[in-house]
Chain A
Amino acid sequence: MLEIKNLHAKVASSVEEEGTEILRGISLTVNPGEVHAIMGPNGSGKSTLSYILSGKDGYEVTEGSVTYNGEDLLDKEADERAAAGIFLAFQYPVEIPGVATMQFLKTALNSQRKARGEDELSTPDLMRLVREKSQMLKVKPEMLKRPVNVGFSGGEKKRVEILQMAVLEPTLCILDETDSGLDIDALRVVAEGVNALRSPDRAMIIITHYQRLLDYIVPDKVHVLSKGKIVNSGGKELALELEKDGYAAYEVDAA
């Protein structure tokens, strides 16, 4: 499904000096139905990986390839990737004043459907769909009238990210530090929302610093990212080891 081969990338900027490579040869295969956790210390390149997969400007891939369902992913614009089924739950969801959340969801869903050659969803059908998913994630209806992420608390922002995921039904979900800034109750609600979306034809990549989230969303595979490389891979027990021993060992090895 997702095939990352020897991916090298750096920040694309005229100002920065050459050679600040952030990803230094990542290879990873994710199959339908699998949940992969990518863990690593700050600055290891976790968020960069999520941005490169979802198509954010400002990064330059210097080597390697990424294919999604056999197609070259790196060639596509961010919206084309979204239409192809890739969803990034942002670590810091962006505030968009003046655009109501409901209007935003409708535009996003119908743009994707149109790109895939499907019929657009009527407003009543969409409202029904969104309302149903909102209840599960404890998102109050009046929040949907408010502008996207404006004035939302940290927990509200993350819940609305997962709500968007539920409405847009992507095939690959990338969750970037979704647990950051959440208390234990909010974490549980978010995790339940994510778990409800687990299915045999949907894959997930969960990017996190801490093992905590993985108590609730149990991964099939865990990878340790350090200094732009995957330095270890294993089952869910690897996350527990990390929790106990920290990243120190990897930081030395990877240097």
Chain B
Amino acid sequence: MSIAIAKTPAEEVYADLDNLPDGFDDIRKQAANAVAKSGLPNRRVEEWKWTDLRRIVDQAYPPAIGGDVAAEKLDELSALSPFGNIVGSRIVFVNGVFDETRSQLPKNISISMLASADKVGFSLRDGDVIDALNLAYASDGVIINVAKGVKVEKPVELVFLTAPDQPATITTRNVIRLEEGAELTLLETHAGHNEAYVTNCVTEISIADNATLNRVRLQEDGENAIHLSNTAANLGQEANLRDFTFTIGGQTTRNQGFVTFNGENAALNMSGSYMIAGKQHADTTLVINHAVPACESRELYKCVMDENARGVFQGKVIVARDAQKTDGQQSANALLLSEGAEFDAKPELEIYADDVWCGHGATSGDLDKNQLFYLKARGIPENKAKALLIAAFAAAAFDEIENEDVREAFNELAQGWLQRREV
């Protein structure tokens, strides 16, 4: 369609090149121009069919960097991280700026900050508005490099706290590189205050041969937040990526994942869970690209929607012409707890090789009546029985997380969610 439509206030500020931060000038301008040209996608754009970003970003959120936040507020937001006793180090960003005093940097890992880096080889992902916005406006982020063979013992936590004093877009960009045989567990907490803001966080991951990254994200952004994120990962031979996202917070969440297998016999597990209510909207959109033979991918998403919440899952698995012996399995299950809840799914397979084992499953429904009756027949009251079944449903996703302490922490968060909902 070539009909010119008036720009929304958000599109106006995003297209204003005067808003661009310093550094990375060429790529920033290129990215901002791409956004100016495409605008924000609406529901007529296939990938955004169920998440109309143009409508969701309903006011101007001028890109912002830093700004004062009361210490008590930051303490309160930091306390939302359940990983306190699990991690050995932590890197904290407040409104998109590295906060040294709240951070304890890890040893044996090369760490630098995007804001002070002079050259990082970024390139623009074609047609991806989250990536373009991020490249244009990223203010800071961490660049982690784990050297060949280094196995980082204690998990490293990244904390992103967002509380701008007026509606704004806070943008961070991280680069995680694992050299051959390296190992790292990365935990992320995203939290923010309850005023409206947009947070856009992109993480570029490259995992060299035989290296392993375990990554777990917890999204507890404020109740009026728009959370946009990208995970773009490349896997080498026999590389391993486990990536889990637990979405509880935010008004609207769009988590995108783009994973490409570049070496044979690599394995991916990309999973997650939503527990959302009110008018929350959570969307996971994945493109898993089996570009080479003999890799394995697993996706498992367990989504709980209460009240008028809406869950979206779009997962595409592409198997290239010569990617024989690919094993790709995908599963998305929704549990709808109330009349107004909704789930939309599009699990997609695009297969060009014949010797593959690929499949997907998707289900949607409410609690199983037979299970409920069985529990009640054993004397468990209805509310408790429901809570037990919902917790078990979510726990099946948490089981994909390797770290037992993290699993435990998430089960407790799920319990807390259920108690707040008085289920």
B389 contacts A99, C-beta separation under 8 Å = yes
Q: Interface size on A (CB < 8 Å)?
A: 31
B371 contacts A94, C-beta separation under 8 Å = yes
Q: Which residues of B contact A168 (CB under 8 A)?
A: 378-379
**Given A99-B388, A99-B389: A93 and B376 interface contact (C-beta under 8 Å):** no
Nearest opposing residue in chain A for B387, CB measure: A107
* Interface of chain A residues 43 through 99 with chain B (CB within 8 A): 54-57, 77-79, 81-83, 87-88, 90, 93-99
Stretch in contact with the other chain, from A1-9, A16-24, A108-116, A135-143: A108-116
**Most chain A CB inside 10 Å of its own CB: which residue of B371, B378, B393:** B378
**Given A94-B374, A96-B375, A108-B375: A79 and B381 interface contact (C-beta under 8 Å):** yes
A88 contacts B379, C-beta separation under 8 Å = no
Tell me, in angstroms, the Cα distance from A108 to B379 when the chains sit together. 6
CB distance from A171 to the nearest CB of B (A): 12
**Given A96-B371, A111-B384: A79 and B376 interface contact (C-beta under 8 Å):** yes
Would you call A164 an interface residue if the criterion is a C-beta within 8 Å of the partner chain's C-beta atoms? yes
Nearest opposing residue in chain B for A100, CB measure: B392
Q: Which residues of B contact A57 (CB under 8 A)?
A: 369, 373
* Interface of chain A residues 100 through 130 with chain B (CB within 8 A): 104, 107-109, 111-112, 115
* Interface range on chain B (Cβ under 8 Å from partner): 20 to 34
Would you call B117 an interface residue if the criterion is a C-beta within 8 Å of the partner chain's C-beta atoms? no
Tell me, in angstroms, the Cα distance from A79 to B381 when the chains sit together. 5
A90 contacts B380, C-beta separation under 8 Å = no
**Given A111-B381, A115-B381: A78 and B376 interface contact (C-beta under 8 Å):** yes
**Most chain A CB inside 10 Å of its own CB: which residue of B369, B371, B379, B384:** B379
A79 contacts B370, C-beta separation under 8 Å = no
Q: Which residues of A contact B377 (CB under 8 A)?
A: 54-56, 78-79, 81-82, 87-88, 90
**Given A96-B392, A97-B392, A98-B393: A77 and B382 interface contact (C-beta under 8 Å):** yes
Tell me, in angstroms, the Cα distance from A112 to B378 when the chains sit together. 8
B395 contacts A98, C-beta separation under 8 Å = yes
A99 contacts B392, C-beta separation under 8 Å = yes
**Can you report 11 residue pairs joining A to B where beta carbons are below 8 Å apart?**
A55-B373, A77-B381, A77-B382, A82-B376, A82-B380, A90-B374, A94-B368, A94-B370, A94-B374, A96-B375, A112-B379
A residues with a Cβ closer than 8 A to B are: 54-57, 77-79, 81-83, 87-88, 90, 93-99, 104, 107-109, 111-112, 115, 147-148, 164, 168
12 further A-B contacts with Cβ under 8 Å, apart from A81-B377, A94-B371, A99-B388, are A78-B377, A79-B375, A82-B380, A94-B368, A94-B370, A94-B373, A96-B371, A98-B391, A98-B395, A104-B375, A107-B375, A168-B378
B residues with a Cβ closer than 8 A to A are: 368-371, 373-382, 384-385, 388-389, 391-393, 395-396
